[in-house]
Amino acid sequence: MELNAIQMILVIIVAFLAGMEGILDEFHFHQPVIACTLIGLVTGQLVPCLILGGTLQLLALGWANIGAAVAPDAALASVASAIILVLGGQGKAGVDSAIALAIPLAVAGLLLTILCRTIATAFVHFMDAAAKEGDFKKIEFWHIMAIGLQGIRIAIPAGLILAIGEGPVKSLLLSMPEWLTKGLAIGGGMVVAVGFAMVINMMATKEVWPFFALGFVIATVSEITLIGLGVIGMSLALIYLALSKQGGGSGGNGGSNTGDPVGDIIDNY
């Protein structure tokens, strides 16, 4: 699929925002389901990009920056794979190939973000000097420059892929053997399982397990859609919050009344 100038500019803007949000983490433009959806929206390929974003979001569940360890770059993986999917012109059929390219792109983005953070350390010294002078505008300037650098690290690769054009990208996707695309897709599915396991490990508390089990049981009912599951989950969360405000202790029966009703009930048993 060939993109016009306006679409290319919008894609680069989305890429820039995704790069900044990888650090700011406020509006979540760097999350695959959002970044891919926005690119699909501006390019007219909403459904394939939405499928790609949803699949990559499962991969990114286990990606997190812990201490000095930097996770693979979900922003570059999302933006670059979505652009490749759009330029490839295969629609839904090209999702597997785009996912196969996403993981190497995420590793490449990891190297880029480390490079940008290394460069940004110099900006900290500039801000320290400005702080000694009491120049708050200069401090804000270098702060914005550091954040903008993170946006550029995604915008430049996005622009390069767009500059390569439809023909070479399509040829690359078509030249990938089936064993490679399917093998990487299977590997990506294994990463999804690891991501879920990491998330469950972090959330594994006695208060959460009842909801976790209940969700699995409800999910087996085929007539309930994802929207229905979301409504059920939201309702359970609101009920839990309402009970938490009332307190769940059993008073004279030895309850602790910690404000966590599920935890208090389990403690009593």
* Last-in-domain residue among 156, 178, 202: 202
pLDDT 10s digits, 106-121: 777 778 888 888 888 8
pLDDT 10s digits, 169-185: 777 777 777 777 777 66
Cut 0.85: pTM above it: no
Residues 219, 162, single domain; the answer is no
pLDDT 10s digits, 40-75: 999 999 999 999 998 888 777 766 665 556 677 888
User: What is residue 98's predicted lDDT score, i.e. its pLDDT?
Assistant: 81
Residue environment code for 226-249, b if the CB has 16+ CB neighbours within 10 A, otherwise e: eeeeeeeeeeeeeeeeebeeeebb
- Of residues 60, 66, 145, 166, the one with CA closest to residue 105: 60
Residues 63, 136, single domain; the answer is yes
Residues 126, 89, single domain; the answer is yes
Residues 174, 225, single domain; the answer is no
Residues 149, 251, single domain; the answer is no
Residues 133, 251, single domain; the answer is no
Give the domain range for residue 126: 5-202
Residues 155, 40, single domain; the answer is yes
One digit per residue, the tens of pLDDT, for the chain of length 269 reads 778 899 999 999 999 999 998 888 788 888 899 999 999 999 999 999 999 998 888 777 766 665 556 677 888 889 988 999 898 877 777 787 787 777 778 777 778 888 888 888 889 999 999 999 988 999 999 989 999 999 999 999 899 999 888 778 777 777 777 777 777 667 666 766 666 676 677 767 777 778 888 888 887 887 888 788 889 888 988 888 887 776 544 444 444 555 566 666 666 65
Residues 83, 177, single domain; the answer is yes
User: What is residue 228's predicted lDDT score, i.e. its pLDDT?
Assistant: 86
Residues 41, 120, single domain; the answer is yes
Asked if residue 241 lies in contact with residue 251, where contact means CB atoms within 8 angstroms, the answer is: no
DSSP code, position 25: -
Q: Number of structural domains, the chain? A: 2
C-alpha distance from residue 259 to each of 18, 48, 85, 212, 267 (Å): 39, 45, 49, 21, 12
User: What is residue 82's predicted lDDT score, i.e. its pLDDT?
Assistant: 92
User: What is residue 77's predicted lDDT score, i.e. its pLDDT?
Assistant: 87
pLDDT 10s digits, 94-104: 787 787 777 77
Q: How far apart are CA 113 and CA 16, in angstroms?
A: 13
Residues 35, 105, single domain; the answer is yes
- Of residues 267, 72, 89, the one with CA closest to residue 165: 89
Q: What angle do CA 160, 73, 180 make, to 5 degrees?
A: 75
Residues 40, 151, single domain; the answer is yes
* Last-in-domain residue among 147, 174, 202: 202
Q: How far apart are CA 180 and CA 196, in angstroms?
A: 24
- Of residues 111, 101, 35, the one with CA closest to residue 70: 111
Residues 210, 187, single domain; the answer is no
Q: How far apart are CA 167 and CA 1, in angstroms?
A: 9
Q: How far apart are CA 264 and CA 249, in angstroms?
A: 6
User: What is residue 16's predicted lDDT score, i.e. its pLDDT?
Assistant: 94
